[in-house]
């Protein structure tokens, strides 16, 4: 496919906005005599009553979430933070979300537009393509896999996030893999290197040893890329005597376990009485025998989960004679579970935001 140039982006932006406004409105572009199109290009929108607003335009062939933060900094330098619109061939959901957070308007050639003006009064929000229509040759990078899960848990649970070397020692994961994962998270604006942090490695991807983590965004991204059903083997069982019977046996058993899901969330931020008991175990067959459970495909009230790694057993907490998975693990499991679980996850995340000092170690 031919490369899209700035002149094409500019003309299409002007055309697309014109089609979204009434016929009497005027959309035109102006340009200052500078070498940098991103600084010298402007878009003027005028209503029939001659009220006009001029927007600084940023033309980008590609865009990542991290670019939203950089554009915000540039807009602040030019005193145009509330009047900047970025135009690209395609802007992903994550990037659009980040642009909205920092107050940068956007328009892409597939129809994703967000623009809100006071004088003249304009509000446009439309949805275009949700996946890039252009072919991407390299494989998509995600948070799938056991190694990514271990890194994610470390980043979410720790108050202070260190660099590659310490993380590699703590997780026993290759530093090169961690570097590539950090590069992805930086592009997605999920982690940012702290300013003034010390240089400890000579790689281009990571030269700093302290990081700020948007743990809520990381949690949601992990749940989307690696849902519970793909991180573990799940078996369903019935205990006719109810959840309390299994809980009583658990407190006296020798099973290595960690309670997650709705029951675990209800201990922290309850929404409704839990109907299912989700339990991480090392061996579901052995655990079901010790707990006296009967496997079933319908009417289950006990769910045994065999994880791919020991991550769900990290940072467990003991409450009421039982072991519970870390709060971050519980939230991720709920986000990717059916029924009312996502709503329970959001309630739990709200609690986490208000009690960060309590659960981050």
The pLDDT tens digits for 214-225 are 999 999 999 999
* pLDDT tens column, 310-338: 889 989 999 989 999 999 999 999 999 99
- For the chain, the average pLDDT equals 86
Which pLDDT value is given to residue 263?
96
* pLDDT tens column, 94-124: 899 999 988 999 999 999 999 999 989 999 9
Which pLDDT value is given to residue 355?
94
Which pLDDT value is given to residue 200?
38
Three-state DSSP string of 229-292: HHHEEEEEEECCCCHHHHHHHHHHCCCCEEEEHHHHHHCCCCCCCCCCEEEEECCHHHHHHHHC
Which pLDDT value is given to residue 38?
47
Residue 29 has pLDDT above 50, yes or no: yes
H/E segment holding residue 113: strand 113-117
Domains and CATH numbers, the chain: 6-126 (3.40.1350), 146-225 (1.10.10.10), 228-359 (3.30.460.40)
Which pLDDT value is given to residue 205?
43
Residue 8 has pLDDT above 50, yes or no: yes
Contacts 24+ apart (CB under 8 A), 105-113: 105/55, 107/13, 107/16, 107/17, 109/4, 109/9, 109/12, 109/16, 111/16, 113/16, 113/17, 113/20
What does the pLDDT average to over 264-283?
92
Q: What is the rounded end-to-end Cα distance, in angstroms, of the chain?
A: 49
What percentage of the chain exceeds 90 in pLDDT?
Answer: 52
- Model confidence at 32, pLDDT cuts 50, 70, 90, reads low
What does the pLDDT average to over 256-274?
92
Burial of residue 342 (number of CB atoms within 10 Å: 0-12, 13-18, 19+)? middle
The span from the CA of 43 to the CA of 17, in Å, is 10
Which pLDDT value is given to residue 192?
84
* pLDDT tens column, 37-55: 444 688 889 999 999 998 8
Which pLDDT value is given to residue 135?
56
Q: Which residue has the higher pLDDT, 168 or 285?
A: 285
What does the pLDDT average to over 129-154?
78
The span from the CA of 145 to the CA of 238, in Å, is 30
Which pLDDT value is given to residue 57?
87
């Amino acid at each position: 496919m031919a490369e899209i140039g700035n002149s094409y982006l500019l003309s299409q932006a002007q055309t697309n906005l014109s089609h979204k406004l009434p016929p009497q409105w005027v959309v035109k572009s102006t340009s200052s005599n500078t070498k940098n199109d991103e600084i010298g290009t402007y878009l003027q929108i005028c209503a029939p009553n001659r009220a006009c607003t001029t927007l600084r335009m940023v033309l980008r062939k590609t865009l990542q979430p991290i670019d939203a933060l950089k554009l915000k900094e540039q807009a602040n330098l030019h005193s145009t933070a509330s009047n900047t619109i970025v135009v690209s061939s395609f802007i992903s959901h994550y990037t659009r979300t980040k642009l909205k957070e920092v107050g940068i308007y956007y328009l892409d050639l597939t129809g994703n537009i967000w623009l809100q003006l006071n004088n003249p009064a304009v509000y446009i929000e439309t949805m275009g393509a949700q996946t890039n229509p252009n072919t991407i040759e390299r494989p998509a990078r995600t948070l799938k896999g056991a190694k990514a899960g271990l890194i994610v848990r470390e980043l979410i649970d720790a108050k202070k996030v260190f660099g590659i070397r310490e993380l590699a020692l703590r997780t026993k994961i290759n530093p090169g893999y961690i570097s590539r994962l950090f590069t992805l998270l930086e592009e997605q604006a999920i982690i940012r290197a702290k300013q003034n942090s010390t240089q400890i490695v000579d790689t281009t991807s990571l030269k700093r040893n302290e990081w700020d983590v948007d743990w809520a965004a990381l949690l949601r991204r992990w749940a989307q890329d690696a849902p519970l059903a793909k991180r573990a083997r799940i078996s369903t069982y019935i205990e006719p005597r109810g959840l309390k019977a299994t809980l009583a046996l658990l407190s006296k058993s020798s099973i290595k376990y960690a309670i997650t899901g709705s029951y675990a969330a209800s201990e922290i931020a309850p929404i409704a009485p839990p109907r299912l008991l989700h339990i991480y175990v090392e061996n579901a067959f052995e655990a079901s025998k010790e707990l006296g459970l009967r496997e079933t495909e319908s009417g289950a009230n006990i769910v045994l989960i065999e994880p791919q790694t020991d991550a769900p057993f990290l940072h467990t907490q003991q409450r009421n004679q039982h072991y519970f998975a870390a709060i971050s693990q519980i939230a991720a499991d709920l986000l990717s579970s059916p029924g009312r679980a996502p709503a329970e996850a959001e309630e739990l995340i709200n609690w986490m935001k208000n009690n960060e000092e309590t659960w981050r170690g």
